[in-house]
Amino acid sequence: MSFGLGHGRELVPGDAGIEMSSLPRLPDAPSVAESRALLAFDPRAWFADPARRFEIEIGSGKGTFLLQQAGLESETNFLGIEWAGEFWAYAADRIRRAEMRNVKLLHGDATEFLRTRVPDGIAAVIHLYFSDPWPKKRHHKRRVVQDHTLREFHRVLAPGGELRIVTDHDELWAWDVEHVDRATDIFERRDFARPASAGEGELVGTNFERKFRREGRPFHAMTLFKR
Ligand SMILES: C[S@@+](CC[C@H](N)C(=O)[O-])C[C@H]1O[C@@H](n2cnc3c(N)ncnc32)[C@H](O)[C@@H]1O
C-alpha cells in the first residue's frame, strides 16, 4: 500500500504488480545457468496466454509506455521492471485500474532478474528508455548497459529479437555506443523505429521524454538486432 505519487489516493498494485521478493528462492548450483535450469521459472506464465509474444521494459517509471503500447498491442504480453517502490506502485496501480491483462509490473532490479531467473530466448523486444545516467564515475557500474548486461540481454532475446535504447544524456549515450561497439559479434545496430503509440514528434512518448522535450533537450536512439 502506498500513497505518495498518488497524491493521497491509495495505490493498489493488485494482480498487475509482482514483488521480486515473492518469487521462489534460487536453488544452489555451481553456476547461475545451472541455477536457472533447476529453477525452471518462466515469467510468461504470469499471463493468461503465456504463448503470446513477450516484451520487457527495463525501468518503467510511471508506466506510460506500457499503458500506451500494450493498449495498441493486446496480443503481446508486456513485463515492466521497476526497482523504485513508489514508481512501481504508481505504474502497477495504473495498469490494474486500466484492466490491462497483458501487462505485469515487477518490483526489483531488472538486470538481476534477467540474470538469475529469465530463460534463454523468450523476449521479442527489450525496451530501455531514459535509463538513469549515473553521471559520477564511481556510480558508472550502476548503469544498465554494461558489457555483461548486453550479453545477458542477447541471451534472453528470441532469435531476431531487439534491444531498443533511447536517452537524452550525451555522456550516457557515448557510454552505450562504446559498449555496443564492443558487442558487434552479438548485435547489429540499426536506426530506431518509433513504436505505434508514440505521439506526434515523439520517439517513444515516455514521461521523461515529454519532460525533457519541454526543456528542449535532444535525444539519441538506436535499435540493436540480435545476431
Ligand atoms: C530516468 S527514469 C525513466 C523512466 C521511464 N522509462 C521514462 O522514460 O519515463 C529511469 C527508471 O529506471 C528505473 N531503474 C533504473 N535501473 C533499474 C534497474 N536495474 N531495474 C529496474 N528499474 C531500474 C529507475 O528507478 C527509474 O524509475
| pLDDT tens sequence across 77-120 | 999 999 999 999 999 999 999 999 999 999 999 999 999 999 99
**What average pLDDT does the chain have?**
96
State residue 29's pLDDT score: 97
Please report whether residue 1 resides in a domain: no
For a ligand 1 pocket test, name from 130, 140, 143, 146 the mutation site with the most ligand atoms within 8 angstroms of its C-beta: 130
Distance 29 CA to ligand 1 centre (A): 30
Q: Does 93 participate in catalysis according to the annotation?
A: no
Record the pTM: 0.97
Number of domains forming the structure of the chain = 1
Please report whether residue 2 resides in a domain: no
Instruction: Read off the CATH number of the domain in which 199 is found.
Output: 3.40.50.150
Tell me the per-residue pLDDT of 111-165, one tens digit each, with 9 for 90 and over: 999 999 999 999 999 999 999 999 999 999 999 999 999 999 999 999 999 999 9
Q: Which among 28, 93, 132, 185 is annotated as catalytic? A: 132
Please report whether residue 155 resides in a domain: yes
Please report whether residue 136 resides in a domain: yes
How far is it, in rounded angstroms, from Cα 156 to Cα 164?
14
- Cβ(167) – ligand 1 distance below 6 Å: no
Tell the residue nearest (CA) to atom 5 of ligand 1.
61
Label residue 221 by pLDDT band (50, 70, 90): very high
Please report whether residue 180 resides in a domain: yes
Q: Which domain holds residue 181?
A: 14-226
Nearest to 193 by CA among 110, 67, 69: 69
Q: Evaluate whether 200 touches 167 at the Cβ level (below 8 Å).
A: no
How far is it, in rounded angstroms, from Cα 156 to Cα 139?
25
41 exposure class (CB count in 10 Å sphere: 0-12, 13-18, 19+): middle
Please report whether residue 4 resides in a domain: no
Please report whether residue 8 resides in a domain: no
